[in-house]
Structure 1
């Protein structure tokens, strides 16, 4: 819970988001300080004034 509050106050947590194909191949990776949101169809976040929306794949979100 403390991480969630800190994330809300400071504009996100330092994290790495990696997307893998269904066969385990790394497709793309992002690093930075941001919050990650999701709904039934997608994972999304804002990084460097751009919104990244991920449809499909396997998404791994690691907090530093």
Structure 2
């Protein structure tokens, strides 16, 4: 590997939205070595079965767009 061209690889602490923490290594520039995640598998609709609500909203939006029923 060439010297001086690679980013610094250091340990960071990842804090999930529910407060759980784990330590990993990353090249990410973080404040004080801590990355706070706002979205993870516990609160994202894709992972917690809210897909049906999103699909229904999409169908309603398509209907309103197609028939110009904006309210």
More contact order relative to length (CA 8 Å, sep ≥ 6): 1
Give the TM bin, normalised by the shorter chain. under 0.3
Superposition TM-score, scaled by structure 1 size:
0.26
Superposition TM-score, scaled by structure 2 size:
0.25
- Relative to total residues, which structure has the larger helix share, 1 or 2? 2
- Relative to total residues, which structure has the larger strand share, 1 or 2? 1
Q: Which has the larger radius of gyration?
A: 2
